[in-house]
Structure formats: C-alpha cells, structure tokens
Amino acid sequence: MGLLDYLKKIEPDKKKSPFLHTLFDGFFTFAYAPNSVTKGGVHIRDGMDLKRTMIHVVIALQLCYLFGSYNIGHQHYSALGMYPSFMSGFHLKLFYGLIKIIPIFIVANVVGLGIEFVYAAKKGHAIEEGFLVSGALIPLIMPPDIPLWILAMSIFFAVIIGKEAFGGTGMNILNIALLSRVFIFFAYPTYISGDEVWISGIEKSDLGYVASENGWAFGIFDWIFNSFGWETFGAGGQAVVDGYTGATPLGLAAKGGWEAVLNHYTPSQMWWGAIPGSIGEMPKLFIIIGALILILTRIASWRIMVSMCIGAVVCSLMLNAWGATPFMEVPWYYQFYMGSFFFAMAFMATDPVTAASTQTGKWFYGFLIGFVGMIIRVLNPAYPEGWMLAILFMNVFAPLIDHYVLEANVSRRAKRRKLSSLDTVQSEVTQTEVVH
C-alpha cells in the first residue's frame, strides 16, 4: 500500500496539467486493477476493464513476435546462401531479426499512443487503450524492411482519420491495423508489394541484389558475441547475392499454380512459416495457438473464425471446379498453407469493435470474409491476397448485417406474439361456447 499511496500523492493536477494527468492515469490504471470493473464488451465505458481485455490479445501474439523475429534473420541469411538449415546460425538470425523488428515496434507504439495521449488530454478523459492491440498488430503485418517514416505516416492516418474522427476507441468502423496497411498499399505500393520487399537487408543495385549488415547495433552485438566466442555479423560491407528470389508462395501460385510453389517451398515450410512474408503472419501453428487463447478467454468469437474457414473452403471448391487458371486449381486445403489466412481469421476479423455483434450476424460476417477474400486472392492478379480488403469491406457492412438480424428477430417474435394472442382468443371463445 505504501507504493500506491505514494503514487496518489504525486498524481498531477487534472486542471493545471491535463496532459501529464492523462499520462499518469494511463500508466497507473495499467499497473493497478480496480476493486470492481464493468462486465461486457468494449463499448462499455470502463477503460480499466478494457485495458485488461486488450492485454490478453497482446499475450496471444507473443509467439508470432518470437517466430517473426527469427524468420526475418532466417530469410536474410537464406538469401545470402548462409546457414541454410532453419536452426543453424541461431543467434545471428534471432538478433538480426530483433534489430529489425524493435524499431518498427517502437515507432508504431510511440506514434499511435502519442496521438491517443494528446486526444485524451484534449478531451479531458482517461486514455483509451484500444491502440494497445493495434500497436501490437501493426508491426506483424508489415514487411521487415518497411521505411519507418512511411510506417509513422500510415499510423498517423489510421488513428486520426480511422478512429479519432469517429469518436475514439469503440467508435471506429474500420480495423485500425488494416487501415494502416491499406494506406501504405495504395499510397506507397512499391514498399509493400513485389518480391524483394519481404527479405530484410536485400536491395537492388546496378550489380544485382545486394545485402548489407551495417550499423551501430550490429557492432554492439558483435562485441557481445565475441565475448562468448560465438560467430559475429562481421565487419559490415556489402555482398552481391547470386540466384536470389524472395517470391512468396502466393506470388508463385498466381503465376504458375501449385507446381510453381512446390518448386521453391515445401508444405512443411509453409505450415511452419519459414517463408518470406509479413513479419508475423506466417507461422500457422503459433497463430492457431493464439486463436485458441482468445477463444478460451472469450476475447474473440469462435463463430467468426469457423464461418470464415467455411466461406474460404466453399469459394475455393467452386474455383477448383472452375479451374480456368493455374491458381484456381490449387487444392482448397493448400490455400490455408499460403499467405495470411489464419492471422486474418484469428486477430483481424474478430475485432469486437468492427465485426458484427449479433451471434447470427457473426456467422454471415465471417462466411462473407472467407468467401470474398478468396475471390480477391485468386482472381486479382495485381494483389494475390485478399483478407485485408475483404475484412475492411465487411467492416463497412457489419452494422447492416446486425440490422437485418435484429429485424428478423423482432419480426419472428412479433409473429410468435400474434399467434400466442390468437391462441388465447380462440381458447376464450371455446370456453365461452362450452359454458353456453
């Protein structure tokens, strides 16, 4: 209790220092749970209850962060032709990935939370914790070499235009993390599409593809590795990469079907996520573990996840039957091995603010995401992945789905009430006839 009393004594005055009070309140409520909290969804206005709901999602993402960091280094050294085995050069791959992912994480959260703090202080209320999840999701859906200034611009756009303009946490109609990515996709397409963007530290030059490991962070880790007698990153410099390809399975499938994919990657590599792609969207098993955590803690809706799988399977079977292009002929079950379906299903489609709220509506919402997303993935040669656009599209229609579900429920109950009233009247008439 001594620490709690001390923190209460140093609490800034709300009127004299609104920004400092908002900042203090955010960290205080993060550290201490209240004696009683409001029960319910994110639209209940109790920030402290919401904060701990969001933390469960962040915990469920940690395996994706761990694997994603390591895979950044693995893809980098695979392009160099070094340490071809997944576990070889373990410390170099892991710390190379950390050097790349930590700045992305810091920029995402400093920019996003900074905007949240400013708006909270201006409004004179406590910090809304919705960006805790967005700040954890955004780094995982970005390429490992995304320029930090572009990342900052995308978050600035997503938080201000996509959330604060609608009233803040719980009021936005579009998923903030996906809005950040779609901003980059349309404003700076070369930084988030193509083969080379998915491999960190590989750039085009007159000599071809060139790899480099320069920077003060590499020097610090080399000093640490030397003290343990481990292999080091080296003295820096550049090396020309021969025979490099950073093509993703989806890019290969779009051009040559499933055979083209198997020429570069095995189903095992795709399932475990040891392939080029966004930082945290590749490891299917770890994503499924995270999804189970969200289901068991009742943070995410299993109905949306199951119906999204059903929608994707139905659409994929229809495309298999059509078979007009090599991509259409990819077996439906291998569609789940490629790309970011599971990540979109577990962490994006289930956003409780932007998804359908009614139980029946969740089935329609998830099914349509799976169906529409598969159409975009297979039939759009310019963008061989569809979950981002499909989820944002269905975010817009989620209120309409809930409206029709509620109208159907009202109509059904009205009919039952009418029939019940008719039965009562008929019973009274019958009883009157018996008396007479």
- DSSP string computed for 108-177: HHHHHHHHHHHHHHHHTSPPPTTHHHHHHHHHHTS-TT--HHHHHHHHHHHHHHHTGGGTSTTT-SS-HH
- pLDDT attached to residue 343: 96
Question: Do the domain assignments include residue 235?
Answer: no
Q: Does residue 247 have a pLDDT over 50?
A: yes
Question: Do the domain assignments include residue 56?
Answer: no
- pLDDT attached to residue 345: 96
- pLDDT attached to residue 46: 46
Question: Do the domain assignments include residue 121?
Answer: no
- The pTM score is 0.85
Q: Does residue 12 have a pLDDT over 80?
A: no
Domain enclosing residue 382, as ranges: 301-436
Looking at residue 351, what DSSP letter applies?
-
Confidence label for 27 from pLDDT (cuts 50, 70 and 90): low
Question: Do the domain assignments include residue 257?
Answer: no
Question: Do the domain assignments include residue 397?
Answer: yes
**Angle in degrees, CA 313, 314, 319, rounded to 5:** 95
Q: Following DSSP, what letter does each residue of 28-52 receive, concatenated?
A: HHHH---SS---S-TTSS-HHHHHH
**Average pLDDT for 118-135:** 78
Kindly state the percentage of the chain with pLDDT values over 90.
53
- pLDDT attached to residue 416: 82
Confidence label for 135 from pLDDT (cuts 50, 70 and 90): very high
**Average pLDDT for 67-84:** 90
Q: Does residue 44 have a pLDDT over 50?
A: no
Confidence label for 22 from pLDDT (cuts 50, 70 and 90): low
Alpha carbon distances (Å) from 196 to 199, 204, 251? 6, 8, 12
Q: Does residue 244 have a pLDDT over 50?
A: yes
- pLDDT attached to residue 20: 58
| The dihedral sign for the CA sequence 285, 383, 248, 142 | negative
**Average pLDDT for 132-156:** 94
Q: Does residue 433 have a pLDDT over 70?
A: no
Question: Do the domain assignments include residue 314?
Answer: yes
Confidence label for 218 from pLDDT (cuts 50, 70 and 90): confident
Residue type, 89: G
- pLDDT attached to residue 150: 96
Domain count, the chain: 1
Residues in the chain: 436
Confidence label for 48 from pLDDT (cuts 50, 70 and 90): very low
Q: Does residue 3 have a pLDDT over 60?
A: yes
- pLDDT attached to residue 383: 72
**Average pLDDT for 94-123:** 91
Q: Does residue 245 have a pLDDT over 70?
A: no
Confidence label for 241 from pLDDT (cuts 50, 70 and 90): low
Residues 6+ apart with CB under 8 A from 286: 63, 64, 66, 67, 273
Confidence label for 424 from pLDDT (cuts 50, 70 and 90): low
Residues 6+ apart with CB under 8 A from 40: 49
Question: Do the domain assignments include residue 350?
Answer: yes
Name the E strands within 178-267. 202-205, 208-212, 238-241
3-state secondary structure of 17: coil
Question: Do the domain assignments include residue 174?
Answer: no
